[in-house]
Amino acid sequence: MTVKIFDTPEVQDFLKSVAGFDQAGGDERTKQIMHRLLSDLYRLIDDFDVTPEEYWAAVSLLNALGGETQFGLLSPGLGFDHYLDMRQDAIDAEARRTGGTPRTIEGPLYVAGAPEAEGFARMDDGRDQDGETMWLTGQVRDVDGSPIAGAKVEIWHADSKGGYSFFDPTQSEYNLRRTIVTDGEGRYTARSIIPSGYGVPEGAPTDQVLKALGRHGERPAHIHYFISAPGHQHLTTQINLAGDAYTWDDFAFATREELVVPAHRIEDRAEIARRELDGPFSEVVFDIELARTEAPELQVRHKRPRAKEDEQDQASRLAGAAKV
Ligand code: MBD
Ligand code: FE
């Protein structure tokens, strides 16, 4: 087809009225961004000769994604979350806020308000019979190596089937979700179970998009962290357990070399007794370094709709309704 109308004055004027340029009200930045977004999409329709069938199939897919609250799941799959991290890394580098453990994406499965403990917490409710006992520990330090006592370490991860409590209603409340405040030596320790990797639900709208791209929806076994302490930059990160088939094939693009951590199987009876466990376990050690900052806005996590974060907020309530 040779019909190309995008560059005509008629279409260009049309885009300006669609974006509200001829209206006094509304938000200026929204108008600018919508104008650019719509222009790019109109051009794409022209360039690819998108048919009405294709256009309405896309509308239908967006409705399905929204219906299952899966935009937060598709987002990392399409690389947006990692792209925002790449930009944040570049912003930090420009501001010379270098050093410290690397960030990686939050993902859509955080739930605010997990129980808090000092130094040590047991994270699992003991009901997951397939879960290998995990001893997860580490020290939070400044970039100069000094331990940070009283740092807040929030940890959340999946069970042995790759499911997250809250989103998986078969699990108990806040199972595998804890906040641990570091002890006098900056250390945190959790007793939990080794998580399995996560897979996008088969046949779900997000899965349909990935399949159409010839891709899968698998994540390697991983553990999420938020770490914060006064005078330091808030860190959102994850570790990947080494040896997973998907370590370097994560559908959410969250893996970073420095964040791949081995789990060491320990069968020594003295080591088992020292931790008051009843059998062999796997130990995972993850030390964290926080960059310094005096800026208060960099010491807390950025705003985003999160399950249970703000019960008044409609978007946060919706975030908790994701079918993931
Ligand atoms: C997850 O557990 C996750 O961390 C991400 C980023 C996407 C889907 C499921
Ligand atoms: Fe996850």
Query: Quick check: 29 pLDDT over 70?
Result: yes
Over range 95-103, report the average pLDDT.
93
Query: Quick check: 315 pLDDT over 90?
Result: no
Where does 71-319 sit in CATH, by number? 2.60.130.10
CB 148 within 8 A of CB 100: no
| Average pLDDT value over all residues in the chain | 97
pLDDT of residue 62: 98
CB 233 within 8 A of CB 253: no
Q: What are the pLDDT digits (tens) for 199-217?
A: 999 999 999 999 999 999 9
**Minimal-distance CA residue to ligand 1 atom 2:** 198
Query: How far apart (Å, rounded) are the C-alpha atoms in residues 72 and 78?
Result: 10
Please give the backbone phi and psi of residue 33, each rounded to the nearest 5 degrees, phi first.
Answer: -70, -40
pLDDT of residue 98: 87
**Minimal-distance CA residue to ligand 1 atom 6:** 107
Pairing of β 177-181 and β 116-118? parallel
**Using H for helix, E for strand and C for coil, what is the string for 45-87?**
HHHCCCCHHHHHHHHHHHHHHHHCCCHHHHHHHCCHHHHHHHH
Atom of ligand 1 nearest to the CA of 254: 6
Question: H or E segment at 252?
Answer: none
Compute, in angstroms, the gap from residue 81 CA to the centroid of ligand 1. 11
**Minimal-distance CA residue to ligand 1 atom 7:** 107
Q: Domain-by-domain residue ranges, the chain? A: 9-50, 71-319
pLDDT of residue 312: 85
Compute, in angstroms, the gap from residue 50 CA to the centroid of ligand 1. 32
Q: What are the pLDDT digits (tens) for 156-189?
A: 999 999 999 999 999 999 999 999 999 999 999 9
CB 210 within 8 A of CB 216: yes
Q: Is the CB of 319 under 6 A from ligand 1?
A: no
Please give the backbone phi and psi of residue 19, each rounded to the nearest 5 degrees, phi first.
Answer: -85, 5
Ligand nearest to the CA of 81: 1
The β-bridge partners of 238 are 224
pTM of the model: 0.96
pLDDT of residue 1: 67
Q: For the chain, what's the residue count?
A: 324
**Minimal-distance CA residue to ligand 1 atom 4:** 107
Q: Is the CB of 252 under 6 A from ligand 1?
A: yes
Residue that wins the pLDDT comparison between 113 and 314: 113
Over range 183-198, report the average pLDDT.
98
List the structure tokens of 125: 């409710």
Q: Is the CB of 82 under 6 A from ligand 1?
A: no
Q: Which residues, 6+ apart, have CB-to-CB distance to 304 below 8 Å?
A: 106
Compute, in angstroms, the gap from residue 138 CA to the centroid of ligand 2. 20
Compute, in angstroms, the gap from residue 205 CA to the centroid of ligand 2. 19
Over range 252-273, report the average pLDDT.
98
pLDDT of residue 311: 81
Query: How far apart (Å, rounded) are the C-alpha atoms in residues 137 and 19?
Result: 52
Compute, in angstroms, the gap from residue 226 CA to the centroid of ligand 1. 15
pLDDT of residue 190: 98
The β-bridge partners of 122 are 191
Q: Is the CB of 19 under 6 A from ligand 1?
A: no
Cα angle vertex 234, ends 231, 253, to 5°?
Answer: 155
pLDDT of residue 2: 85
